[in-house]
Amino acid sequence: MTTNMEVKDKSQLRLRLVFLGAAGVGKTALIQRFLADTFEPKHRRTVEELHSKEYEVGGLKVTVEIMDTSGSYSFPAMRKLSIQNSDAFALVYAINDPESLEAVKSLRDEILEVKADKCTPIVVVGNKADRETERQVASEDVVSTVELDWNSSFLEASAKENDNVVEVFRELLQQAHLPSQVSPALRRRRETFPKDVGLLRPPMNKTNSCTVS
């Protein structure tokens, strides 16, 4: 698997995560909940925003960049550039919006085309899990597609209720194959990486798993 992960020297590493999805699915809300533990219920149109957080463990400095992208298809060149320059991807849809899931499928195809790597780290996120009474997308169907057919990871989350938000970032970092001395199991926002790797979810049994090279 190829990666854009940048290692400036033996003590510094830079990793970029990008959030993609249709407009209004809650990409910005997930990022803001993780970074600032805040939630803004009113939808705010995003073109592109880059956030940066620094962590340190054992003398190794890790800069995690989080790219928040537009849900509009009016910026294809910008989206392609974001894909080219990123290491791991969160594809976000809303559980009460089946069309947003279709957008995720299209975005995945675009990622694989741009990166030319079927093993590109991708985590599919079903956001707005707090709206269970409005659900129109069955999680069982998404799990089957994402984990078995796509060989990627799947989580449902709620930025509003702060449910599974940290786990989304934990999974992204795990899928990005950070060096073994840097645990991707983020325990709390705004803290250094914890040493407890036991927090990680055990690997899924997949028949077409990718090998890291």
pLDDT in tens, 71-106: 766 667 888 888 999 999 999 999 999 999 999 999
Mean pLDDT along residues 47-53: 83
Mean pLDDT along residues 163-176: 91
Contact by Cβ (8 Å): 171, 123? yes
Q: What CA–CA distance (Å, rounded) separates 71 from 26?
A: 10
Structural domain contains residue 114: yes
Structural domain contains residue 139: yes
Structural domain contains residue 104: yes
Structural domain contains residue 211: no
What percent of the chain clears pLDDT 70, i.e. is strictly above it? Answer: 73
Structural domain contains residue 67: yes
Q: Which residues contact 27 (CB under 8 A, 6 or more apart)?
A: 19, 20, 21, 46, 68, 69, 71, 90, 92, 127
Structural domain contains residue 204: no
Domain, as residue range, for 54: 6-196
Structural domain contains residue 1: no
Q: What is the pLDDT of residue 115?
A: 93
Structural domain contains residue 178: yes
Count of domains observed in the chain: 1
pTM (predicted TM-score): 0.79
Residue 174 in tokens: 């795990």
pLDDT of 199 higher than 60: no
What are the phi and psi torsion angles at 65 (to 5°)? Answer: -100, 135
Residue 54's domain is classified under what CATH number? 3.40.50.300
Where is pLDDT greater, at 103 or 210? Answer: 103
